[in-house]
Amino acid sequence: MRRSIDDYPFQASDYPPDYEEDELTPISWAVGICDDYADAEPRVMLTFEEVGRAGQGLVGHLSPDIARRLRVAIRDALAEIGQDVGA
């Protein structure tokens, strides 16, 4: 089973002006789920790809515990920069 949950194509407005000079790589991300493993356990797939290099990105296959840890880390980072952490 494979299922796409959400994806975000890079927008130039996502980065500060002149991001090319700051050597920031424009990336897109996608989140999905799959159970393509010998143990048949579902995992969260997190993909990052550089714009213009489709199919050459990094794909993490996260167990539920690691996916929750990532969710907490993102929430904490948002709080640290003074942003609403959402629900």
Query: Domain total for the chain?
Result: 1
Average pLDDT value for residue range 7-22: 82
Domain for residue 86, yes or no?
A: no
Other Cβ atoms less than 10 A from the Cβ of 51: the count is 13
Domain for residue 23, yes or no?
A: yes
Which residues span the domain enclosing 33? 2-80
Whole-number pLDDT of residue 23: 80
The tens digit of pLDDT for each residue in 16-71 reads 887 776 687 889 999 999 998 889 899 999 999 998 888 889 999 999 999 999 99
Domain for residue 7, yes or no?
A: yes
How distant, in Å, are the alpha carbons of 29, 38, 67, 72 from that of 26?
10, 34, 23, 24
pTM higher than the cut 0.75? yes
In single-letter form, the type of residue at position 30 comes to A
